[in-house]
């Protein structure tokens, strides 16, 4: 595997909010056909890393490449399916189908009409997450787990080469978790890459576990079960401010 084959390549990344460092010296790789889990306590920087990887937060220093290109020059967003935490999405008037349909937007020029391939991808994605019968419901009226499954459908509809997911199983019932775990496993075995924040041990088969603590990588474990990883140091209840002495 050469560096050019990597889907995500982060080297010595530093990210800060308002001058306060949140990610420090973070390096991480995701290759095709590889599932990488991100773990760590609350406030350790997992969501910040995920949002940095999908270009939503700029990095202060270090290097971040997507599909071999520096993130600032990367524009082929249909290659990435992003699943944020559902609480980040506020769409009072959209239906479930409309939210899933937005996963097709990177395939089109602005205001392009959906075509047959779009409709097929959207139908299949809703079916995969078990929400075909809720397609015309308002997204806002769904339960937390159903909202999360809708956002997974949106990422599936994109038909990307890389999935980047922030706690996709949060609020999802155990039966649906099992189905989604198999679905993600099949996608990875089919060659997709997966970078996923997971608290649910065993919900998704992982090739590698990366543990963050106070914005630093403290452990990289080549084992499917993060419970086998080195115990992470206790996270300060005051987080970085405590570390910085502010
Ligand atoms: N927009 C923001 N502005 C300032 N600080 C932020 C912002 N977003 C996050 N932070 C801080 O950055 C640190 C890391 O937050 P982040 O959300 O990345 O953690 P996390 O590991 O995803 O936590 P959790 O498991 O609770 O979701 C925290 O100290 C948090 O308070």
| Domain regions of the chain by residue span | 3-89+160-244
Q: Which two tokens stand for residue 153?
A: 């459908």
Confidence (pLDDT) at 223: 59
Indicate the pTM of the whole model. 0.87
Smallest CA-to-CA distance from 205 within 185, 189, 187, 183 is with 185
Q: Strand 69-70 relative to strand 162-166: parallel, antiparallel, unpaired? A: unpaired
CATH of domain 3-89+160-244: 3.40.50.300
Q: Strand 35-40 relative to strand 61-66: parallel, antiparallel, unpaired? A: unpaired
* Cβ count within 10 A of residue 192: 22
Instruction: Please list, residue by residue across 90-105, b when 16 or more beta carbons sit within 10 angstroms of its beta carbon and e when fewer do.
Output: eeeebbbbbbbbbbbb
ipTM of the complex: 0.96
Q: Which residue, by CA, sits nearest to atom 9 of ligand 1?
A: 48
Beta bridge partners of 64: 10
Give per-residue pLDDT as tens, 129-141. 999 999 999 999 9
Start-end of H helices in 58-192: 96-101, 116-128, 144-158, 174-189
Q: Which residue, by CA, sits nearest to atom 27 of ligand 1?
A: 42
Confidence (pLDDT) at 122: 95
Residue 47 Cα to ligand 1 midpoint, Å, equals 7
Give per-residue pLDDT as tens, 91-118. 878 999 999 999 988 887 666 677 888 8
Mean pLDDT of each 10-residue bin along the chain, 246 residues long: 79 94 96 96 95 95 96 94 84 90 83 82 94 94 91 95 93 87 93 93 88 90 55 40 35
21 Cβ closer than 6 Å to some ligand 1 atom: no
Q: Which residue, by CA, sits nearest to atom 10 of ligand 1?
A: 17
3-state SS assignment for residue 232:
coil
CB 197 within 8 A of CB 165: yes
Residue 208 CA, chain-centre distance (Å), reads 15
Residue 64 Cα to ligand 1 midpoint, Å, equals 20
Confidence (pLDDT) at 101: 92
Confidence (pLDDT) at 114: 76
């Amino acid at each position: 595997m050469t560096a050019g084959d990597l889907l995500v390549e982060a080297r010595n990344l530093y990210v800060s909010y308002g001058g306060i460092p949140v990610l420090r010296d973070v390096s991480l790789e995701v290759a095709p056909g590889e599932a990488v889990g991100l773990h760590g306590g609350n406030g350790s920087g997992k969501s910040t890393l995920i949002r940095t990887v999908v270009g939503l937060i700029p990095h202060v220093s270090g290097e971040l490449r997507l599909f071999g290109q520096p993130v600032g020059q990367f524009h082929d967003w249909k290659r990435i399916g992003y699943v944020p935490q559902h609480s980040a999405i506020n769409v009072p008037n959209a239906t479930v189908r409309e939210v899933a349909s937005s996963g097709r937007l990177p395939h089109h020029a602005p205001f392009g009409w959906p075509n047959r391939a779009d409709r097929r991808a959207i139908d299949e994605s809703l079916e995969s997450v078990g929400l075909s019968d809720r397609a015309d419901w308002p997204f806002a009226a769904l339960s937390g787990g159903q909202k999360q499954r809708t956002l997974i459908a949106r990422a599936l509809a994109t038909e990307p080469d890389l999935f980047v997911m922030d706690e996709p199983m949060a609020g999802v019932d155990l039966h649906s978790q099992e189905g989604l775990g198999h679905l993600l496993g099949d996608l990875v075995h089919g060659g997709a890459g997966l970078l996923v924040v997971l608290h649910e041990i065993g919900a998704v088969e992982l090739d590698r576990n990366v543990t963050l603590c106070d914005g630093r990588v403290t452990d990289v474990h080549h084992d499917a079960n993060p419970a086998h990883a080195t115990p992470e140091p206790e996270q300060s209840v005051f987080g970085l401010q405590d570390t910085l002495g502010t």
